[in-house]
Structure 1
Amino acid sequence: MDDFLIYLRLGFDHITDPGGYDHILFVIALCAIYTPGQWRQVLILVTAFTIGHSITLALATLQLIHYKTALIELLIPITILITAVVNFFFQEPKSRGAKTVTQRSRYVLALLFGLIHGMGFSNYLRSLLGREASIVKPLLAFNLGLELGQLVIVGIILTLTYIILNVARSSRLRWTLVISGIVAGMALSLIIENEYLGELMK
């Protein structure tokens, strides 16, 4: 198999792997307030996240920035918790097509938090690259794989949202609160169990 396809698959598998569900939780938290009819807003949001993690994934893989891996592993669940909690205060625009300050801030938040997640992705990618002569092609392929994986997760979430709202006839507010509450609880658990936080508190 061509190396490009190999790294594309590795990127896809990495973000969709249930064993490393922290990134999945973040995408769920991003999409929790939206309905399938708002897919354009979701696409912009996920694109902002992609831009953010693409920047630091490239910089970290090229070793142009350095950081403590343990700190990033703590910050990632913190970004998930913040995103989930922000969902409780989200307000719909009063007119169709209008954008609230909250919506705009979500795009910025997704971009900034993407920077943190990109550093988390880079640890895995660096371990795969080994002594590759050129990392540009693998880096691009891995990033595209991550993006495809994110879109699959988004598709599943929006489909589930459609079923809950239109088939089960649950209210949108209730669904948002339930899914965001579950994500927030799981993120909080990851934070509490984080070894780096334990060391800081000693």
Structure 2
Amino acid sequence: MQDFWLYFGLGKDHIADLQGYDHILFVAALCLRYLFRDWKKVLILITAFTIGHSITLALSVLNVVNISTAWIEFLIPVTIVFTALSNVWEKKFEFKTKFPLIYFLALFFGLIHGLGFSNYLKSLLGKSSSIAGELLAFNLGLEAGQLLIVAAIMLISWIVVQAMRMQRREWLLFASGGIFCLSLLMAIERFPI
């Protein structure tokens, strides 16, 4: 049980580490279009992302999938660019479909982000033969860390939209524009040559 909490803490700390701000930017871009009243939709969204990266994290740690680290480090900011761009088309904030496109993007992009975590987790696990418990704990820690980031982003959005009275669409465009610029710069810097 002690190993569970160790890997849980490592997962939580890894996602919330400011040096890995690309993951924080991605979660922010995913959640900017939502308000606190949309918490169920946000929970589904973040869980879709976690499922995606859990799949590739497990496959990579088990050496079923092996993709160049340089390409993964390039593709991660590309996913952020696309997510930030998807926010531009959100105008009415009426989520009429049960599973909007953003859920599928979160799941698919989670597959890419999971590969980004795999080298870190592989180095922690070493040659351990039984990794199911450690993978579960690490992924649950990632989910907990992501939920903390989501809470912070939604609090900031509430302050800007409700307390400061900025139009919701303007806030979405402003914040998404900043995320887009940062992630595009990251993608250009990380392009594998």
TM-score, reference length from structure 1: 0.91
Q: Does 1:59 align with 2:59?
A: yes
**Which amino acid is the alignment partner of residue 37 of structure 1?**
R
CA shift digits 1:20-50 (9 cap, x unpaired)? 1111100000001111111111111111111
Q: How does 1:1-202 map to 2 (within 5 A)?
A: 2-92=2-92, 98-99=96-97, 104-194=100-190, 196=192, 199=193
- Partners of 1:65 and 1:191 lie apart in 2 by 23
Instruction: Please say if residues 93 and 99 of structure 1, whose CA atoms lie closer than 8 Å, have aligned partners that are also in contact.
Output: no
Instruction: Please say if residues 14 and 146 of structure 1, whose CA atoms lie closer than 8 Å, have aligned partners that are also in contact.
Output: yes
C-alpha deviation, 1:137, in angstroms: 1.1
Instruction: Please say if residues 77 and 183 of structure 2, whose CA atoms lie closer than 8 Å, have aligned partners that are also in contact.
Output: yes
- Partners of 2:119 and 2:146 lie apart in 1 by 19
Instruction: Tell me how large the CA RMSD over aligned residues is.
Output: 1.5
- Partners of 2:138 and 2:44 lie apart in 1 by 20
Q: 1:166 to 1:123 in 2, by over 3 A?
A: same
3-state SS of 1:15 partner? helix
Percent of aligned positions with the same letter in both sequences? 52
**Which amino acid is the alignment partner of residue 8 of structure 2?**
L
After TM superposition, where is structure 1 displaced by more than 6 Å over at least 4 residues in a row?
none
C-alpha deviation, 1:120, in angstroms: 0.6
Instruction: Please say if residues 56 and 118 of structure 1, whose CA atoms lie closer than 8 Å, have aligned partners that are also in contact.
Output: yes
Task: Give ranges in structure 2 of 5+ residues lacking alignment.
Answer: none
C-alpha deviation, 1:91, in angstroms: 3.9
3-state SS of 1:124 partner? helix
Instruction: Please say if residues 36 and 161 of structure 1, whose CA atoms lie closer than 8 Å, have aligned partners that are also in contact.
Output: no
- Partners of 1:112 and 1:92 lie apart in 2 by 25
Task: Give ranges in structure 1 of 5+ residues lacking alignment.
Answer: none
Aligned length: 193
TM-score, reference length from structure 2: 0.95
